[in-house]
Amino acid sequence: MIDPENPPVITFENEVFDFGEIAVGSTVSYAFKFENTGEGPLIIHDVKPSCGCTALKNWPKGALKPGAKGEIPIEFTPNIGGKTTKTVSIVTNANPSVMKLTIKGEVVGG
């Protein structure tokens, strides 16, 4: 539940990661860094990638106090070439409750 008087706010340093150019089958890692810039505790309920080519490492569990920082590390391993854009949905107790982060770039080979 969101406390309307003291809502949490998840603020990402970057909402888009452009990995540039990588080869099919290679892996690129990135951590989406964030801070709870709201006034209430932030809870990340779930993190969902849009494809099986994106693996989630570990994200903070439990309540994050106002001012607390964290990161959501991902690994992207594409299996087909071409320009690509994938998303990672972050489900929280903030408003909006679902936020989408973007991974994009050019996959060569394959």
Domain containing residue 80:
10-108
Question: Could you tell me if 86 and 53 are in contact, meaning their C-beta atoms sit under 8 angstroms apart?
Answer: yes
Say yes or no to pLDDT of 3 above 80: no
59/110: higher pLDDT: 59
* Residue 74 in domain: yes
Overall size of the chain counted in residues: 110
Tally of domains in the chain: 1
Cα end-to-end span (Å), the chain:
46
Average of pLDDT values for 67-84? Answer: 94
Q: Could you give the CA distance from residue 89 to residue 50 in angstroms, rounded to a whole number?
A: 8
* Residue 89 in domain: yes
* Residue 2 in domain: no
Using one digit for the tens of pLDDT, what is the confidence trace for 20-73? 999 999 999 999 999 999 999 999 999 999 999 999 888 898 999 999 999 999
Say yes or no to pLDDT of 110 above 70: no
CATH code assigned at 42:
2.60.40.10
* Residue 1 in domain: no
Identify the pLDDT of residue 1: 58
